Structure 1
Amino acid sequence: MIGRRRRDSGQAFPIYVVMVAGLLFLAVAFFAVGKASALRNGAQGAADAAALAAAQQAREDFEAPFLASLPESMLDLFLKAHAVNGCSAAYQLAEANQADVTSCLPIPGGDRDRIKVGVKGRKTVDSSVIPGSKSKIATAHATAVIEFRCSWKSVDLNDDSVQDVYFFTCKNGGMLEIRPSSPPPWSQVSKILFDVHLIDD
C-alpha cells in the first residue's frame, strides 16, 4: 500500500509542474495583453490631446484675419477660405504625453475646419510570450473640428460702406457685439464664435 501511494505521488508531480507552468504562462500573457491595452489607450489619449491642442491653436490664429475681414464685410469670404494650422501645438502635446506625431493634416472646410493627427507611443509591449512584441508600438489617430457656430448681421452706421458693428447670435445661446474699430479681447470671444471638439473619423 505504501509503495503504491509513493508511485501515485510520483506520477502526479509532473502534472502539477505542467499545471503551474501553464498558469504562469497565462499570467504572463494576460499581463502582456493588459500592457498592450494600456499603451494603446495612452496613445489614443495623446492623439486626442494633440488634435485638440492643434485645433485650439488654429482658433487662436484666426484672430487677425477674422477681425480684418469685418470692416469691409468680408466675413463670408474669410469663412470660405482661410489658412488652418496649429500643428506646432500638436507636437508639444504629444511630447508631453510621451508620444510622437506621425502626421498632422489641417483640412480647411469653410465654417467647419478639421485637423487630423496621428501619433505613435514610445514604449513597446516587449513580452517574451507574444512574438514580435519587442518592436510593437501603439499608434492612434484623432480628428478635431473648429466649427463656426454663429449667425450675424452687420450695421454701417455712417453709410460709408464700412461695417461699424456686428451682432452675432450663436448656437450655444451666446450673443456678441463686436465693433471692428475696438474689438474685445479674442480670448473672450473666440470660444463663443468657434467651437473646438473631437469627432469620430
Structure 2
Amino acid sequence: MKLLLDFLPVIIFFAVYKTSGDIILATAVLIPATLLQIGYTWFRSHRIEKMQLVTLVLVILLGGATVLFNDKTFIQWKPTIVNWLFAAAFLGSQFIGEKTIVQRLMDSSITLPQIAWRKLNVAWVIFFVALGVINLFVAFNFSEETWVNFKLFGMLGLTLVFIIGQGVYLSRHIQSTEESND
C-alpha cells in the first residue's frame, strides 16, 4: 500500500499526460497530488520521511516553474536532482556516522561484513548518479512522450533490476557468512 501511495502522484501525472498530451497540465496536477499525498501520509502516521519532503519541495519549485514559465525543462530536471541528492546523501554517509544509509536501512534484517555494507552503499551512489544522467539523456534526446514513459516505466524498471542485482550481491555475502559459522 505504501509503495502505491508513494507512486500515486507519478501515476496521476502519467495518466493526465496520456489523456491530455499536455505536460504543463500534467505538472499542474502533479503539484496538488503530491501535496495531498504528503498530507495523507501525515494524517495517517504523523510522520513524513525526508525523501518525501525533498520530493515535495522539488515538485513545488520545479513543477511551479514549469507551469509558471510554460517550460517542461524544469520538471524534466526533477528526477535527476532527486537522484543526485540521494547519491550525495548516500555518499556522505560513507564519511559521517558509524553506519552508511544502506546499513541503517537494512542491518536489522541482514548481517554483513562492514566492507560489504560500504560496497553496497557505493553501488547505490553510482546507481543514483547513473539514473540522473540517464534521465537527462532521455529528456533531451528523445520525445516528450518517450521521457514521460521513461519517468514511470523506465526508472521503475531500472530500479527493480538494480534491486535484483543487489539481492544477488547480498545472497553471496549471506551464504559466505552462514558457511563461516558452520
Q: TM-score w.r.t. structure 2 length?
A: 0.25
- TM normalised by structure 1 equals 0.23
Name the structure where strand makes up a greater proportion of residues: 1
Kindly indicate which of the two structures has a greater share of residues assigned to helix. 2
Larger RCO (CA within 8 A; separation ≥ 6)? 1
